[in-house]
Structure 1
Amino acid sequence: MAKTELLVQRIRQIIASDGYVHNDRLPPEREMCSMLGVTRNQLRSALTKLESRGLIWRHVGRGTFVGERPVLNLEDVTYLRDQVTPPQVATVRLAIEPELARLAALHSAHADREELRTCAERCREVPDWRSYEAWDNKFHFAVARSAKNKLFLYYFETLNVVRRSMVWSQPRTTPKPAKNYSSFLEHDLIVQAIEKNDGDGAAQLMREHLHSVYGRILPSLGKTAAPRTD
């Protein structure tokens, strides 16, 4: 295997093992060169190959990001971030993500469901909260992608970039999630519903999961969670 291709594989391993998800920014080139023990030219050759395969995208002056180049206008995202509030973000998530879970139950492929299961498992294995947040974000993105609806995915990506650019007040009293952290089981139940092609169940479970999450951050939203009807 050529040196450039070996370097491509090493970068892909770093992206996977460190929990990078779609649109996450990779370390600066100088830092990556030091990390990988390569020259700037060698690194750029590998990044060019990764970009041609849709695995990363680069923006001059901003950096290198994971995944395909988004359709999003980053200036619009910055504008939205400055105009909306955390409760508004949570309200839109509650409107969009349950429907994405329902569609994922109807349209996801075997590989999509394997990725969902992997993300849910990796959430349990994390060493710290930052890693958990990365894998949790990857889980929700995998649900959105599994819905197989490009327009819905565009709206989800816009929402997700705005959400991740905001500062959320969520105090952490432990170095990582406890073994009985409620989101672990909630993720599992969502995956199980998707695997059973239970669209309505997946939507309801996603809604309950989001209410649980925001019940810790925005209690006024958490209290409005609808009970199960089945």
Structure 2
Amino acid sequence: MSDTMPKPIAAEIARSLQQRIDAGEWADGRQVPPERDLAADFGVARNTIRRAMDMLRDQGTISRHVGRGTFVASGAKHSLSEIVAGMEGASPADMMELRLLLEPLSSANAAINASAAQLAGIEEAHREANAATDIMTFEQWDSALHHRIFACSRNELLRGIYDLLHVLRNQSPWFDMKKRSFSEERRQNYCRQHDAIVTAILNRDPEAARAATLAHLKTVEANLLGR
């Protein structure tokens, strides 16, 4: 490239390299050419290439290994369907971690934002779970209770994430684990903890709702995973 031609800035080089990776010029796990070669290709100093590579690394497109070189990150490109499919194998421990992050906040949100109709739906699910006499019925209403609380969120992306988690929770491996850990004593304890959550939501007390949900999920985690 001639010295008289304008030299691309690091961001432009990063975009160009990203396009080449997306086009399949370098497959997943394949080594990217050294900085000196790329600098010669683009007609820029190596520190400019280094800044561009730093941008791609921060995006997760590439990985850099001292003494080995720079490689296209495995799985750098994923469609939404591929990401969802990959979540099907999520472990119960991973799912509990996500629930512990999301659900206490959702209960606090419900205490602030739930409509009268949503509150009635939450009360119904709690009432039916209390009245359940078998595991299938209890699990149905237990799941409905948690789902209805989260449905009070006004964030569509969060609701979509939880809807996916809701589906995963009802798959066979998860339900089999819950069935093995189920007992009438635990059901009654869960119902008492649910009562604390629902009461806090009805009282429009977000902090109490958050704390009660966290305590409940910690109990569920201990029962399911033996922690």
TM-score (norm 2): 0.58
Letter in 2 for 1:151: L
User: 2:193 matched to 1:186?
Assistant: yes
Alpha-carbon distance between aligned partners in 2 of 1:183 and 1:136, rounded to the nearest angstrom? 9
2:112 is the counterpart of 1:106: yes
Q: Which runs of 5+ in 2 are unaligned?
A: 1-79
> Are residue 219 (structure 1) and residue 226 (structure 2) matched?
yes
CA distance in 2, matches of 1:90, 1:190: 18
Structure 1, 178-187 or 120-129: larger mean CA deviation = 178-187
Question: Who is 1:115 aligned against?
Answer: 121
Are the counterparts in 1 of residues 181 and 224 from structure 2 also a CA contact under 8 Å? no
- Cα offsets for 1:129-148 (capped at 9, x unmatched): 01111100100011011233
Cα deviation per residue 1:49-104 (whole Å; 9 max; x = unaligned)? Answer: xxxxxxxxxxxxxxxxxxxxxxxx7775443112x211111001000011111110
Equivalent runs, 1:1-230 vs 2, <5 Å: 76-82=83-89, 84-165=90-171, 167-168=173-174, 169-170=177-178, 171=180, 177-178=184-185, 181-220=188-227
Task: Indicate the SS of the match to 2:173.
Answer: coil
Q: For residues 205 and 114 of structure 1, what CA distance do their matches in structure 2 show?
A: 19
Percent identity over the alignment is 23
Give 3-state SS (helix, strand or coil) of 2:209's partner: helix
Amino acid at match of 2:155: N
- Give distance in 1, aligned partners of 2:208 and 2:81: 35
Q: Is the contact made by 1:102 and 1:194 (CA closer than 8 Å) also made in structure 2?
A: yes
In structure 2, distance between residues paired with 1:74 and 1:166? 21
Runs of 4+ in 1 over 3 A off after TM superposition: 73-78, 177-180
Higher radius of gyration, 1 or 2: 2
